[in-house]
Amino acid sequence: MSNTKVISIGMIGAGWVAEHGHLPGFLSLEGVSIGAVYDPDASRAAHLAEQAGAKACSSLSEIDEIPLDAVLVCTPNHTHYELAKHFLQQGIHVLCEKPMTTTTEEAGSLRRIAESSGAVLLMGFVNRYRDDIRELRSRITSGQIGDVQVCEVIWRRKKGIPRPGSWFTQQKLSGGGVLIDLGSHMIDQMLFLTDAPEPVACLGSLHSRPAQEGDYSNWLGSTESVTLEVEDTAMGMIQFANGMLGRIHVSWQDDVEGDFVEIHLKGSRGSLSLRTLFGFSNQGLYKQPSLQFTPAGQEPEWFTFPPKTDVLIDFRRQACHFAECIREAKQPDITAEDGEKAIRLIQLLYQSAHKGLVAT
């Protein structure tokens, strides 16, 4: 593809994250246009298409008639596989929101389809583009704490169920609860930060409480129903082939003062701890990200990040990387294999929660 050609993007799904996260990111890029917006809800498609200066479509047959170079799939989890497959088989590049799919089998199939098509399949793990995560990854890969022995990833919300009663909380549509939602990001962080090898054993536990009015994510909308079919809290431990132990704790509603993300790593030469917040919550516990480095047997050193002046910088960086991969015909930094590995671990933790310790 010529570097001077305008890349035409199709938005597949016109929900909250498409409108408030992805669309501003793509509209900020030169040489990129939004050619179409597809959503089965015609009114939502029209609303987003008007903002993007694009054609609104309420059926796949409509959007198939529009010449597109790439699409962004940000629809309910259970639709990711069929939609991404539909476009990849036409040689259309895909940026797919997390999770890649809801099953390991579908994830493997989608990876193979992408490989055979030659199209780019970029996984939407947007938090990899954060400055605090980049700093943490740099320190780990430079050997600052030596070989990583333990990696603990935590994302806990005080009142953050995403629209109770919506597809997020319906098992058949979401594939699970907080573990496949927030857990997708945190499992990816564990794998990305440590370059963890294959897991050898997993132990997971799922819990939930009845949803109450006001327990929902106030940036996503109101309660549709207080009925939850999925877990609101998940915890797990993963033993990897190199001996590293991974621990995860994610929750939508929890007994905490505010929402937060923490990542703790213990290595052979010291430890690193990041305190921050992912997402769009306005009830964060930590006002600024901070990173603590503790050399083995010594006093901790603190690093505080400058204020984040652009709240959408991570989405803009992701959009820019996607466009770069398309123009330069190169594979993305976050691959289909990364998406497959994450969903495999999530499925193993779900399996363990129902059957006990799982050895792989």
- Report the side by side order of strands in the sheet with 93-97: 55-57, 32-38, 7-12, 70-73, 93-97, 121-124
DSSP 252-283: SB-SSSSBEEEEEEEESSEEEEEEE--SS-S-
pTM: 0.95
The pLDDT score that the predictor gives to residue 184 is 98
Q: pLDDT by residue (tens digit) across 245-275?
A: 999 999 999 999 999 999 999 999 999 999 9
The pLDDT score that the predictor gives to residue 222 is 62
The pLDDT score that the predictor gives to residue 3 is 55
The pLDDT score that the predictor gives to residue 1 is 39
* Ranges of residues in the chain whose predicted pLDDT is under 50: 1-2
Q: Tell me the C-alpha to C-alpha distance, in Å, between residue 319 and each of 27, 195, 293.
A: 9, 24, 32
Q: pLDDT by residue (tens digit) across 8-29?
A: 999 999 999 999 999 999 999 9
The enclosing H or E element of 87 equals helix 80-88
Q: For residue 56, what are its two tokens?
A: 């609104």
What does the chain come to in residues?
360
- Report the side by side order of strands in the sheet with 290-295: 301-304, 290-295, 270-276, 260-267, 148-156, 245-251, 233-240, 199-207, 358-359
**DSSP character at residue 226:** S
DSSP 269-330: SEEEEEEE--SS-S-BS-SS-EEEEEETTS--EEEEPPP-S-TTHHHHHHHHHHHHHHHHT-
The pLDDT score that the predictor gives to residue 309 is 87
Q: For residue 228, what are its two tokens?
A: 């939850």
Distance CA 356, CA 350 (A): 10
Residue type, 73: V
Ramachandran sector of residue 77 (left: φ over 0; alpha: ψ -120 to 50; beta: rest): alpha
Q: For residue 117, what are its two tokens?
A: 């098509």
